[in-house]
Amino acid sequence: MNATQEPASGPALVWFRDDLRLSDQPALLAAVDSGRPVCCVFVLDESSEGIRPLGGASRWWLHQSLRSLADDLERAGSGLVLRRGPAADVIAELVGETGATAIHWNRRYGEAERAVDERIKERCRGEGLEAHSHNASLLFEPWEVSTKSGSPYSVFTPFWRACREQRPPSEPLPAVRRIDGWDQRVPSEDLDSWRLQPTTPDWAGGLRETWEPGERGAARRLRDMVDGLPGYAEGRDRPDQSATSRLSPHLRWGEIGPRQVWHTMMAADDSEAASGFLRELCWREFAYHVLFHHPRLSTENLQRKFDAFPWPPLDEDALRAWQQGRTGYPLVDAGMRELWHSGYMHNRVRMVTASFLTKNLLIDWRIGEAWFWDTLVDADPANNAFNWQWVAGSGADASPYFRVFNPETQRSKFDPDDRYVASWVPDLGTDDYPAPLVDLKESREAALAAYQQVRG
Ligand SMILES: Cc1cc2nc3c(=O)[nH]c(=O)nc-3n(C[C@H](O)[C@H](O)[C@H](O)COP(=O)(O)OP(=O)(O)OC[C@H]3O[C@@H](n4cnc5c(N)ncnc54)[C@H](O)[C@@H]3O)c2cc1C
């Protein structure tokens, strides 16, 4: 960074990350309120140590979301500078190029991301620049909720109770409508040159027809959810109904913040239904709480005794059948095909497909987590690994090891008329549909025998 710049003359940098919105956007609002001109930037960082590369569906989403953010910023009076590279170096270069005197960002909670932020903060301190971090993506930050003895929660229900007993999450901040944008041009890369979208083959048709990435799409989903709130409690477990919000990718990229969701729901007429919905939203908070305290969540068993789990050698054919939705179990296949087509899968079906992979096929949960990471539009650093470990039994407040979801029982319970299955598995009942890959009873018993070895 160039310490010879006149301190007061430079802009405030706003570094966008998982917070691609203009409303309830503390970093942006603080920069605007500081009275300095504002230079908005997004850095595609695929090379800092420990940063996990984005999956394919997330890359697609990010492309659309950045386009939408750039349009919204332009309407408000600012450009969006796009750069690629190790974030700490890129931000340092930008400070040098613009003479920025302050940097604002919203906090992230992964270990590698925090290390990058810390490096930048240290540099700023050394050079007399202001570095301000804010909370945009959680209701309660991981260090704000703890047990009476001061330790992190490892069980959800007391965590949820503690969240409710805390002061309510603060009100969302007003949307930024006018930005005094930094008018001296700095080079920006072309979004298309980042190749976040597939070209040939173009597998994103299903994503395009299903989603509207960006802040407007997120607000629309929230409005629809308020209208659908009365049906949530009963319908949320039913993949054949559209009872859930589908806010997850919007929350993942911060096109909407949880404070906005919380307060909108609290203002809704049906407080009981709202509370049921907010409980689910707090699973997201809990996953981040766990990620913060167990940074290797996507690679290490939370319960270390599971390190001794006797995973057999990987059966590549079985894995491929699961990925392609050709296991011969219609609910599993419907979920995996929905995922491939739309980048989404209903929560109940995620649990069933994950249980089938880890327990009926005895394939390591990390392999399933990686597939979801690549294919989900909501692939989330906390929620994905947290839930995989929950299903596998190795995680926090996890499903007990002996709980093996039976995909046929789940199908008759949660998709009683086969409407969901029929919409994704049109070949069911034809000669093209595969025979069952494994016997449910035998594979369940094999799983239980393997799990017995790590009980203790
Ligand atoms: C194996 C597996 C992997 C998963 N991977 C992800 C992931 O990568 N990203 C992700 O956002 N969710 C993940 N989930 C959690 C859950 O399936 C999705 O959040 C939910 O299906 C999103 O749909 P929705 O927005 O309509 O949910 P709604 O029912 O409308 O819930 C509202 C919001 O609450 C949060 N939420 C709901 N359920 C959970 C949960 N079990 N854990 C954490 N947060 C929750 C989400 O942010 C969601 O958008 C996973 C679940 C399983 C079983």
- Residue 2 corresponds to which tokens in the numbers above? 């160039």
Q: Which fold has domain 138-170+214-293?
A: 1.25.40
Residue nearest atom 41 of ligand 1, based on CA coordinates = 283
pLDDT at 5 over 70: no
C-alpha 266 – ligand 1 centre gap (Å):
20
Residues of the chain with CATH 1.25.40.80: 138-170+214-293
pLDDT, tens only, 58-101: 999 999 999 999 999 999 999 999 999 999 999 999 999 999 99
**DSSP line for 322-383:** HHTT-SS-HHHHHHHHHHHHHS---HHHHHHHHHIIIIIS---HHHHHHHHHHH-TT--TTH
Residues of the chain with CATH 3.40.50.620: 12-136
Threshold 0.80, pTM exceeds: yes
Q: Quote the DSSP letter at residue 23.
A: S
pLDDT, tens only, 316-356: 999 999 999 999 999 999 999 999 999 999 999 999 999 99
Residues of the chain with CATH 1.10.579.10: 304-451
The C-alpha atoms of residue 289 and residue 139 are separated, in whole angstroms, by: 11
Ligand 1 pocket check for 387: Cβ under 6 Å: yes
**Cβ atoms < 10 Å from Cβ of 236:** 17
The C-alpha atoms of residue 373 and residue 382 are separated, in whole angstroms, by: 11
pLDDT, tens only, 189-235: 999 999 999 999 999 999 999 999 999 999 999 999 999 999 999 99
Burial 135-149 (b: 16+ CB within 10 A, else e): bbbbbbebeebeeee
Residue nearest atom 18 of ligand 1, based on CA coordinates = 347
Q: Which fold has domain 12-136?
A: Rossmann fold (3.40.50)
Which ligand 1 atom sits nearest the alpha carbon of residue 346? 21
Architecture of the domain spanning 304-451:
Orthogonal Bundle (1.10)
The C-alpha atoms of residue 259 and residue 236 are separated, in whole angstroms, by: 21
